[in-house]
Amino acid sequence: MGRPSEAAGMEALHQLKSTEPPQWLAPSASLSESARAASQHLFASLRPHVRKSPFDELLVDNFDAEQIWQQIDLLTQPLVRSIRRRVKHWEKNPAEIENLLPEVADGGKKVAQGKKMEEIDDDDDDDGGDMDMDDDDDDDDEEMDVDNDGEQDGGKDEGDESEEEEEEKSGGIEDKFLKIKELQEHLEDEEARHYGLDAKNKKSKKKSGSKKLEDEDDDSEEGEEDKEEDDDEDEEVDLFAGGDDEDEEDEMGNARYEDFFGKKKGGSEPKPRFKDELGEDSSSGEEEKEEELSSDDDDDEEEDDDENVNKKPKVLSTHEKEVQKIKSEIEKMEKANLDPKTWTMQGEVTAANRPKNSALEVDLDFEHNVRPVPVITEEVTQSLEEIIKKRIIEGQFDDIKRAPGLPSKAPRELKPVDENKSNKGLAEVYEEEFVQQTDPAAAPLSFSDEQKKEIIEDMSIQSNVPALAMEEIAPVAVSDAAMLAPEEVFSGKGNVKAEVELTQTERKRRRAKKKRKFKAVETKKMASKKAREDELRKQKEGTLLVVQVTHLCCQINVMLNQKL
Amino acid sequence: MLRRNVRLRREYLYRKSLEGKERLRYENKRKIAEALQEGKPIPTELRNVEAELRAEIDLEDDKTAVPRSYIDDEYATATEKDPKILLTTSRDPSAPLVQFVKELKIVFPNAERINRGGQVISEIIESCRSHDFTDVILVHEHRGVPDGMIISHLPFGPTAYFGLLNVVTRHDIKDKKAIGTMSEAYPHLILDNFNTKLGERTANILKHLFPVPKPDTKRILTFANQSDYISFRHHVYEKRGGPKSVELREIGPRFEMRLYQIKLGTMEQTEAQTEWVIRPYMNTTKKRKFIGD
C-alpha cells in the first residue's frame, strides 16, 4: 500500500479522536486501520527533521504493534536527543527563546491549561512546534499506554488516543465535585508548601517554559501525582540549598488526610451497613447513614479516579470483579461477627441456653482424662496366670500372718523326764547310793551283787520296719486290712467291672482268656512231663536194648557152645 | 458399747492428728542426727530446737525412733481374730445380683449373707457391731450387672469404695461340670503390684478380709493391679508333674475392681474424713498411677 496523502492521515487522526473510549476495548479493524494511517502520517511529518533514519516511511502493512513501535522508536530516539541538546542550549541562553517565543507561546499556553490537555493544532503550528508537540504526544502515548489497562496493542500505539482518552476521562469523571485541573493545582500548591516556595516558582516557570523537561525525565511513572513527585525530585537540590525550614516543619507536622483528599463528610468509609440488622433504633440513624453512604460514595468518586473510570460502564474487569467479591465476603463476615454467637461457640452452655435436642445433632468430642477400661483378652489372662504360677512355685503369698499374742504368763518349763519304767527297784537304788558314799571300790556285798555283774545286756526288740509305720497311731479296732492303702489292696488299672456287670461278650472273652492261660500252663506242664518221660523211656529202652543184646549174646554163646 | 466406740474413735482421730507434728519432729531429729554425723553445721532453722531434740535423740532406741503410723491402726487387732464378714446388697436386688452375692459368700470364708429388705445402712452397721462382725460388704448393681462394691471395716475402720467392671459370674458359665464345686478352704492370697502408699493401704484392706490360711492349701485368690484396675481371680492349683509344674484351674467369679474412694469412717458415717478420692477431671490423671506402677 502506498503512502496515504496528508489529508487521509489527518482524516484518520480526527476519526481516532472522535471515537468513544469503550470502543477501544474491543478490537476493531476500522480503528486499527485508521490508527495505522494516522501513525504513518505522523511519521511522515517527523521524518524530515531526522537526518538519518533507516525508514523513509512507516511500514504498517502486516506488521504487528511491536514492529511499528520499534520503527517509531528508531526515528524518535535521535530526535529526542537533539531536542534535549537544544533545550539545554536555550536554558543557558534564554535570549534565544525570545526568538522562538511567538511559536512557543502558543504551545506554552496550551501546556498551562493542563499537563496532558494539549490540543492538536498541527496544521497551524510550525514544524518545530509541531515536532515538539508531536514528540510530546509520542512520549505521552508511551506513558498513557502504560497507564491504562488497555489490552489492545493495535489500537493504542500512538496518535491522539491519549489525548482523546484524557478528554474522555475528564468527560467521565469530572462532575460538579471533581475537576482534574483543580486537583492538580491543589496538589502542586500542597507540594510547594511542603517543599518550599522557591520550588513552586521554579515549577510554574518550568511549566510555562516547556513541558518537555518533565516528560523527558518521566520514564516510568503512572498518573499525574507521580509526575508531580518527579518534579520534586528534580528540585531536591533546590530544597536543600534554600528551603524554608520553618515552613517545612510546620507544614509537615500539620499535614493531614483532609489536606490531601478533602474533608470526609461525617464518617469513615469502612462503616458497617446497619440497615437490616438494627430494628428500632435505626430509623433516624438509617437516614443519617444513608446520607453518609451517599456522601461516602461521593468521596469515593472524588478520591478514586482510576477505579471509577472502570466502574461507570457496566462491564467490569477481572480485578474489579475480584474486589467486589472480596468486599461482599467481608460484608458477610462482618455481619456474622455482629450476630450473637451460636450456642456451640458460647463456652459453658446449659440445657436452658440452647435449643431443644440440639446436643444430639452436634458431634461432641471430648478429651477423656481417664484411662479406658481394660479389655480382658487371652493375653491378659495368660499373663495373670503366669504371675500366679510363679508365685505358687516360689511359695510367696501375701497372706496375713498371725501376730504372736503377748503371753499372759511365762511358759511352764518342762524338764525331760524318762518315762520308761526303771529296772532297778528302789532298794537297789538306795544300796548303790550307800555304796558310793562309803566306798566306791567295795566288793560285792552279796551273791546277788555278783550275779548282777554277770548280767548280760538288755534285749530290746528291734523291728526292721520303716519309722513311719512305727509311729502310725491307729486305733486297736482297725484291722490290718483297713490299714492298708487302697493301692495295696488292689492295684488294678482301668475300668474294673464285677462279674455281674459283664456283658455276654465280655464273659466269653474272659473265659477264652482264662482258657488260653490255662492251656498255656498245661502245655508247659505237659511239655515238661513229656520231656521227663522221654528221658525215662530212653533210659528204659537203653536198658532193654542192653538186656536184649546180652540175651542175644547168651543165646549165641549157647549156640556156639552147642556147636562146638 | 456406743460410748466406748465413740471414745475409741476419738482417740484414734486424736492420735492421727498428732501424726503430722510427730512426723515433723522426726524429720528435724533426723536432720540434726545427719548433721552431727557428717560434721556439718546444723541448719539454721533448727538451731532453737536443737538442744532438746539432741537430748531426745540420745534417749531413743530402735522402736521409738521411727514414728508410728496410725493409718493402719484399725487393723492392729485384726490378726488376732479371724474376720467375720457380712454380705448384702442394695435395695431391691435383681436375681443375677443375688446370685452373685451368693457366690461371693462362698469366696469369702467366714461370710454371711443377709437379705437387704428395707433396712437402713446405720441399722445394719449397728447390728453388725453388736454381733462382732469385722467387715461389711455391700454390692450394688446396674440392671443385673454388679457394678459397685463397698467394703467397710468395723468397728470404725476405713471404708473402700470400688467399682466393678467386666464381671463374669459362675452362673454365667453354663457348663457346671467343667467348673466343678468351689473349694471352701482358707485361701492363699496374691496381691500383685500394690507399690504406692495408697496401694499398700488398699492391699491391707483387702488382706484383712481373709483369715490365716494353712500353708498347704490349694486355693488361690489373686488381686492383681494393672494401671489402677485390680483384677480379681480365683484359682485352684495342682502340682502334678513335679515341684516346678503347676496346673491352674479357674473357679469362682472374675471381675475388675476400680477404687474410687477411701473414707476414714464406716459406711454410715457420712461426715467422715476422706482419705483419698479419685479425680478423673484432673488433667494429669491419665498419666498418673495411684495404686501401683
State the pLDDT at residue A209. Answer: 47
Q: Check if the beta carbon of residue B165 is closer than 8 Å to that of residue B148.
A: no
Rounded average pLDDT over A549-563 = 86
Highest mean pLDDT among A267-281, A521-535, A549-563: A521-535
Q: In Å, how far are A47, A164, A174, A183 from A170, measured between CA atoms?
A: 33, 10, 5, 12
Cβ separation B235–A402 shorter than 8 A? no
The nearest CA of chain B is from the CA of A268 a distance in Å of 49
Under an 8 Å CB criterion, which residues of B touch A?
78-80, 165-166, 188-192, 203, 207-208, 210-213, 220, 222, 224, 226-229, 231, 233, 235, 237, 239, 243-244, 246, 248, 254, 256, 280-283, 285-286
Q: Check if the beta carbon of residue B171 is closer than 8 Å to that of residue B99.
A: yes
Cβ separation B228–A371 shorter than 8 A? yes
3-class secondary structure, A52: coil
3-class secondary structure, B223: strand
Average pLDDT, chain A: 72
Q: Check if the beta carbon of residue A43 is closer than 8 Å to that of residue A59.
A: no
Cβ separation A399–B222 shorter than 8 A? no
Q: Which residues of B257-270 are buried (b: 16+ CB within 10 A; e: fewer)?
A: bbbbebbbbbbbbe
Model confidence over B123-171: pLDDT tens digits?
Answer: 999 999 899 999 999 999 999 999 999 999 987 889 999 999 999 998 8
State the pLDDT at residue A228. Answer: 46
Give the phi and the psi of residue B11 in degrees, each rounded to 5. Answer: -60, -45
Kindly report the number of other CB atoms within 10 A of residue A494's CB atom.
Answer: 5
Cβ separation B192–A387 shorter than 8 A? yes
Q: Check if the beta carbon of residue A122 is closer than 8 Å to that of residue A130.
A: yes
Judged by a CB distance cut-off of 8 A, whether residue A371 touches chain B is yes
Kindly identify which residue of chain A lies nearest to residue B247, measuring between CA atoms.
A389
Q: Which of residues 180 through 239 in chain A touch B, CB cutoff 8 A?
A: none
Nearest Cα to A294, choosing from A267, A263, A313?
A: A267
Kind of pairing, strands B188-192 and B229-238?
unpaired
Q: Does position A280 have pLDDT exceeding 80, yes or no?
A: no
- Residue B97 CA to residue B103 CA, distance in Å, equals 10
Which residues share a beta bridge with B231?
B224, B256
Option in B165, B244, B281 nearest A373 (CB): B165
Kindly identify which residue of chain A lies nearest to residue B232, measuring between CA atoms.
A384
Contacts of A378 in chain B (CB under 8 A): none
Cβ separation B227–A369 shorter than 8 A? no
Cβ separation A402–B213 shorter than 8 A? no
Judged by a CB distance cut-off of 8 A, whether residue A397 touches chain B is yes
- Residues near A161 by Cβ (< 8 Å), separated by ≥ 6? A16, A24, A35, A141, A144, A155
Q: In Å, how far are A367, A468, A490, B11, B242 from A487, measured between CA atoms?
A: 68, 18, 5, 63, 21
* Cα R_g (chain B), whole angstroms: 23
- Residue B23 CA to residue B29 CA, distance in Å, equals 10
Burial class (CB in 10 A: 0-12, 13-18, 19+), A41: buried
Contacts of A373 in chain B (CB under 8 A): 165-166, 229, 256
Burial class (CB in 10 A: 0-12, 13-18, 19+), B188: buried
ipTM of the predicted assembly exceeds 0.90: no
Q: Which of residues 375 through 394 in chain A touch B, CB cutoff 8 A?
A: 375-376, 380, 384-385, 387-389, 391-393
Option in A369, A376, A388 nearest B166 (CB): A376
State the pLDDT at residue B37. Answer: 87
Dihedral sign, CA of A302, A306, A307, A309?
A: positive
- Residue A326 CA to residue B189 CA, distance in Å, equals 75
Task: List alpha helices for A439-503, DSSP H.
Answer: 447-453, 467-471, 480-483, 486-489
Option in B207, B227, B280 nearest A400 (CB): B207
Contacts of A376 in chain B (CB under 8 A): 166, 231, 254, 256
State the pLDDT at residue A218. Answer: 44
- Residues near B111 by Cβ (< 8 Å), separated by ≥ 6? B85, B86, B87, B104, B105, B137
Nearest Cα to B216, choosing from B251, B183, B241, B180?
A: B183
C-alpha cell at B12: 484414734
Kindly identify which residue of chain A lies nearest to residue B81, measuring between CA atoms.
A402
Helices A94-113 + A197-209 axis angle, to 10: 90
Option in B165, B239, B248 nearest A385 (CB): B248
Q: Which residue has the higher pLDDT, A124 or B80?
A: B80
| Distance between first and last Cα of chain A | 193
Model confidence over A7-48: pLDDT tens digits?
Answer: 888 888 888 888 888 888 888 888 888 888 888 888 888 888
Which residues share a beta bridge with B87?
B113, B137
State the pLDDT at residue A453. Answer: 72
State the pLDDT at residue A312. Answer: 56
Mutate to test the interface with B, among A397, A406, A408 (most CBs of B within 10 A): A397
pLDDT > 70 in chain A, percent: 60
Cβ separation B188–A399 shorter than 8 A? yes
Contacts of B246 in chain A (CB under 8 A): 389, 392-393
Mutate to test the interface with B, among A398, A402, A406 (most CBs of B within 10 A): A398
Option in B211, B244, B281 nearest A393 (CB): B244
Cβ separation B190–A370 shorter than 8 A? no
- Residue B206 CA to residue B193 CA, distance in Å, equals 14
Cβ separation A388–B189 shorter than 8 A? no
Contacts of A389 in chain B (CB under 8 A): 237, 246, 248
Chains A and B form CB pairs within 8 A to the count of 86
State the pLDDT at residue A135. Answer: 46
State the pLDDT at residue B202. Answer: 95
State the pLDDT at residue A282. Answer: 44
Beta strands in B45-182 (DSSP E): 85-89, 111-113, 135-142, 145-153, 159-168
Kindly identify which residue of chain B lies nearest to residue A392, measuring between CA atoms.
B246
- Residue A388 CA to residue A385 CA, distance in Å, equals 5
Torsion of CA A261, A263, A268, A269, to 10 degrees: -50
3-class secondary structure, A524: helix
State the pLDDT at residue B219. Answer: 95
State the pLDDT at residue A492. Answer: 78
Cβ separation A370–B285 shorter than 8 A? yes
Contacts of A385 in chain B (CB under 8 A): 235, 248
Rounded average pLDDT over A394-403 = 88
State the pLDDT at residue A201. Answer: 58
DSSP letter for B111, please. Answer: E
The nearest CA of chain A is from the CA of B32 a distance in Å of 35
Option in A373, A384, A402 nearest B233 (CB): A384
Option in B79, B210, B282 nearest A369 (CB): B282
Burial class (CB in 10 A: 0-12, 13-18, 19+), B22: middle
Kind of pairing, strands B135-142 and B85-89?
parallel
Cβ separation B79–A401 shorter than 8 A? yes
Nearest Cα to B129, choosing from B235, B289, B15, B266?
A: B266
Burial class (CB in 10 A: 0-12, 13-18, 19+), B189: buried
Burial class (CB in 10 A: 0-12, 13-18, 19+), B158: buried
Option in B189, B211, B222 nearest A384 (CB): B222
Cβ separation B210–A387 shorter than 8 A? no
Cβ separation B283–A369 shorter than 8 A? yes
pTM for the predicted model, two decimal places: 0.43
Nearest Cα to A11, choosing from A35, A28, A45, A44?
A: A35
Ranges in chain B, pLDDT < 70: 63, 65-72
Model confidence over A163-218: pLDDT tens digits?
Answer: 444 445 555 666 777 788 888 998 999 888 887 665 555 555 555 544 444 444 44
- Residue A545 CA to residue A548 CA, distance in Å, equals 5
Cα angle at A144 between A40 and A7, to 5 degrees? Answer: 25
Q: In Å, how far are A492, B39, B255 from A516, measured between CA atoms?
A: 21, 100, 62
Cβ separation B207–A371 shorter than 8 A? no
- Residue B34 CA to residue A402 CA, distance in Å, equals 37
**CB hemisphere CA count around B187 (13 angstroms):** 27
3-class secondary structure, A242: helix
Model confidence over A309-326: pLDDT tens digits?
Answer: 555 567 888 999 999 999
